[in-house]
Amino acid sequence: MNNFGKIWVFTLLFLTVAVMSGQGRPGMDKIKSLKVAFITERVGLSSQEATMFWPVYNEHEQALAQIRRKERVDIRSKMADFDNLSENEASKLLDQLIGLEREKQELNILFLSNIREVISPKKTFLLIKAEEDFKKRLLKQIQQRRQGGR
Express each pLDDT in 16-26 by its tens digit.
Answer: 444 444 455 67
Which residue in 94, 74, 98 sits closest to 86, CA to CA? 94
List phi, psi (to 5°) of 85.
-75, 135
Express each pLDDT in 88-116 by its tens digit.
Answer: 998 999 999 999 999 999 999 999 999 99
| Model pTM above 0.95 | no
The answer to whether 20 and 59 have CB atoms below 8 angstroms apart is no
Distance CA 115, CA 107 (A): 12
List phi, psi (to 5°) of 86.
-80, 165
